[in-house]
Amino acid sequence: MRPYKQVVLKLPKHSGATTLGLFHMDVDDYSLSPDEDADIFYVINRRAVTLFQQGRSWMRRFRYYSAGNAFMKAINSMKNCRVCSFEQECQRTDLLIALLENLMVCFNKIRRSKCVCTAMKDLRLLTKNNPSWWALCQEGRALEALGKYYPARLSYTKALKKKPGEQSIKEEITRISKRIGDLEGTKQMLSQLSI
């Protein structure tokens, strides 16, 4: 952003008028001051939080496309936002994690499983390869929809390690293990028939 300076111009005395004008100032450093940079972060952060709340509202109404669009806008604005303190970095990271986890739910609901896996890659980078159990369950659902049953079972197993005793995860592991067992039995039967 280039700084501009407001200048009052005085015209010759015989005209009796003054005028205002904005003139470009040439300065070597076009970067923002730390105060302005912090203000921009908080403006973008407030906008992203508003988009997050809108997305959650769309999810409650089962409008997953609209929710996903709101989450994507918020993610893009937060990824491109520059931070100048550790506190701002923590706020940005926490908000991005929440946005990505909710985006994964939306993608699973609208059957865009590859997009869930892409969002999981971003989430793994943010969390230093330590995503929440909820995100691991979303990844497991996406991998299962893609037909990758072994990696899906691994995701569910990791989720169960993070939240032991969660009955829904145990049910998913049981269901997917049965499916893997059925596939192995079918493969053995086909191999015996081809001999």
- What CATH number corresponds to the domain at position 174? 1.25.40
| pLDDT exceeds 90 at position 161 | yes
| pLDDT exceeds 80 at position 175 | yes
Helix (H) or strand (E) holding 140: helix 133-145
For the chain, what is the domain count? 2
| 98, 104, 107, 108 alpha-carbon torsion, rounded to 10° | -130
Q: What percent of the chain has pLDDT over 90?
A: 62
Q: What domain range is 77 assigned to?
A: 38-110
Question: Which pLDDT tens digit goes with each residue over 3-13?
Answer: 555 555 555 55
Residues 142 and 186 occupy one common structural domain: yes
Structure tokens given for 152:
């899906």
Higher pLDDT pick, 22 / 42? 42
Residue 158 inside a domain? The answer is yes
Residue 125 inside a domain? The answer is no
